[in-house]
A and B are shown apart, each in its own frame.
Chain A
Amino acid sequence: MSETLLKVEDLCSVFLTRQGVVKAVDGVSFHVKERETFGIVGESGCGKTVTGLSILRLLPEPAGRIVGGKIILGGINIMELSKKEMRAFRGKMISMILQDPMTSLNPVYTIGDQIAESIRLHQDIPNSGVQDEVISALKLLKIPAPEMRLGDYPFQLSGGMRQRVVGAIAMSCHPRLLIADEPTTALDATIQAQYIHLFKDVQKTTGVSIIFITHDFGVIANMCHRVAVMYAGKIVETARTRELFNAPVHPYTRALIDSVPRLDRKDDRLFSIEGQPPSLRNLPPGCRFYPRCSERMEVCGEQPPEVKIGDEHYVSCWKVSK
């Protein structure tokens, strides 16, 4: 874990709607190192998925677009690539796993065909060699008896197996960065544990870097090396996972961790954050969390700067900068 693979600087993505401009991602910066799992955690609408789609340059056009910032992957600024170059870049360099395997697989093609599709598109392999590649992708994701499974349709598989097939498609061209958007949310608890365990193995074997997008702190704790917490389009805190759980600094991070019930202790009463996240069309000025923050000050009406408070620990909060 050393070299930086991906560097995102000041990324801004917006959606143009009839009611005005929605700033879904507003000035987000982070980096992901080689062989690292980087988590992005936040509630719905905080911009985590849009961040992931922006890195792939797959925002739904024309409504969604990236309006600023740099995305540098393996030394190349992908914002400057043409559409054609970008198509070649996806699959080989970056790929993505979506939340619901039932909607990301095509129900009328066999899983063998669906994995072969991405291999044919992105790799220069003769037709005779494609099947071997498909089988090795299935083996990587530990799908039992892969040769027998090639002719299966998605409906013949269980939820956990389907999500493995989606993983096999994503890993089939040996990408260096994998963006996993809530890949375990649709799975049952024990299957979820299996899947996370499996991905740790896949990472060890292939050395792929993973951006793990989720709202579940448990998954973050079990899977990620470093985490960014997002709120209303901005990153409020970035830290190593252990540090984030043991010594969270931003009031939102702390409130979020406190409001999740713990299995290993009995809570009499949970801490709850009052109110709701703001609408992205009508953001409060300054710090976006301050209307709900229990420690707000006058200065919070202005945007707080990002401050480094420890090794790889960054926080945007006036409480720290003062």
Chain B
Amino acid sequence: MAEVLLEGQHLTKHYPVTQGLLQRIIGWVRAVDDVSFKIESGKTLSLVGESGAGKTTTANMLFLLERLTSGTILFKGKDLREFTSSQLKKEYRPSVQSVQQNPWSSMNPRMRVRNIIAEPLVVNNRQSKKQIRQRVLELLEQVGLRPEHAERYPHEFSGGQRQRIAVARALALNPSLVVLDEPVSALDVSIRAQIMNLLKDLQMKHNLSYLVIAHNLATVRYMSHSVAIMYLGQIVEYGQAEELFERPLHPYTKALISASLLTLPEDEEGQAEQIILTGEMPSPLNPPAGCRFHTRCSEARDICSKIEPELVPVGTQLVKCHHCSGL
């Protein structure tokens, strides 16, 4: 086991829903509910789920963009609440960087690429202009761009190249963790492979940890070492990527995998029936009692609507399901 870089323990984020002149609180949106995970150094953890599952809120909590309702974030074994604000600024924030989904909106169109990549350096360090210029050229080379690209504006680049610029900017401060929020879903198919390979190469070279947020399971399998499947703000299955994809246990994971598998038309008879879930994800404002997935689960029994299952180890994975834990 590699060293744990960042650990989230029982992370919870509830947003109040208010009504009326006095902003009376009438309910809570339970966006993220008791989510725990570990990110090892040099490894990739993926958070997978459909929209509204709480993936992005979880990432925003790591960036300290959301105040935790409850829970603890440990960075290199140390509780973030013990960091003073200058320690946070000097030690934590530069180490956790992000690459956003859409390279068309994550960059200021009026800045040259040189300034876009240099911005984190300017904000965080007291390096000389010469050092910064040198570092920018170095970063451009690392992501496969040429030095002359530094003087251009973002609109002069294609989507794949822009995503490379975004990666260069994220690497500027030598972070130890990069959060990749749907890093390739806005790109064309033939460009996706280029960016995924680049990200893997950079991970090897700099011993980077990644937290990948994605909904495309095939991308996730290619990129990750471990995977957490999220549904309605909770992790329903968590384990090593290989085992989880080879032997999915939770009915939701099975349905997700089935929905993403290639089934060729003439193959249909011979293959296992594709699992088609009925209905849609319920509202996090009023999640179902018991197991949150029971309203769409084909194997739901009485107990599922009454008692919420625990996330317990089954084989090599952690699973939140009454069926799998053998009840």
Contacts and interface: CB of A to CB of B under 8 A. Distances in A.
Interface of A: 43-44, 158, 160-161, 188-194, 197, 215, 217-218, 221-222, 224-225, 241-242, 245-246, 255-256, 259-264, 266-267, 269-274, 276-277
Nearest to B216: A189
Interface residues of B, number: 42
Contact of A190 (B196, B222, B255): B255
B242 interface: yes
Contacts of B197: 269-270, 272
Contact of B262 (A262, A270, A271, A276): A262
A222 B267 CA distance: 10
A270 B200 CA distance: 10
A255 B190 contact: yes
| Residue among B190, B245, B276 facing the most chain A CB atoms (10 A cut-off) | B190
Contact of B260 (A194, A218, A273, A276): A218
Given A259-B193, A271-B193, A197 B188 contact: no
7 contacts: A188-B281, A189-B216, A197-B274, A222-B274, A246-B264, A263-B262, A266-B222
A225 B266 CA distance: 9
B262 A218 contact: yes
Contacts of B261: 218, 263-264
Contacts of A270: 193, 196-197, 222
B300 to A, nearest CB: 16
A267 B281 CA distance: 31
Nearest to A267: B222
B111 interface: no
B262 A221 contact: yes
A193 B273 CA distance: 12
B284 to A, nearest CB: 13
A264 B264 CA distance: 14
A193 B160 contact: no
A262 B277 CA distance: 22
A259 B160 CA distance: 14
Q: What is the interface of chain A mostly: helix, strand, loop, or mixed?
A: loop
A40 to B, nearest CB: 14
Contact of A222 (B192, B200, B262): B262
B280 A191 contact: yes
A264 B248 CA distance: 12
Contact of B188 (A44, A267, A274): A44
Contacts, number: 117
Contacts of A245: 262, 264
Contact of A225 (B158, B219, B265, B274): B265
B188 A43 contact: yes
A241 B264 contact: yes
Contacts of A194: 276-278
Interface in B147-172: 158, 160
Contacts of B263: 221-222
B213 to A, nearest CB: 14
Nearest to B221: A263
Contacts of A264: 261-262
Contacts of B188: 43-44, 215, 277
Nearest to B278: A194
Contacts of B267: 242
B34 interface: no
A227 to B, nearest CB: 10
Contacts of A43: 188-190
A263 B192 CA distance: 15
Given A161-B280, A266-B222, 5 more contacts: A189-B50, A197-B274, A261-B219, A269-B200, A272-B193
| Residue among B217, B264, B267 facing the most chain A CB atoms (10 A cut-off) | B264
Given A160-B280, A190-B255, A269-B197, A259 B260 contact: no
A261 B196 contact: yes
Contact of B189 (A197, A256, A267): A256
Contact of B256 (A44, A190, A215): A190
B305 interface: no
B142 interface: no
Contacts of A256: 189-190
A165 B191 CA distance: 33
B264 A242 contact: yes
Contact of A189 (B193, B196, B215, B266): B215
Contact of A277 (B190, B200, B242, B262): B190
A161 B300 CA distance: 24
B51 A259 contact: no
A245 B263 CA distance: 11
Contacts of B215: 188-189
B259 interface: yes
Closest 5 CB pairs of A and B: A193-B259, A272-B193, A259-B193, A188-B50, A261-B222
Contacts of A277: 188, 190
B190 A263 contact: no
Contact of A259 (B192, B242, B257, B262): B192
Nearest to A198: B276
Contact of A262 (B160, B190, B218, B266): B218
Nearest to A271: B193
Contacts of A221: 262-265
A104 B228 CA distance: 35
Interface in B174-205: 188-194, 196-197, 200
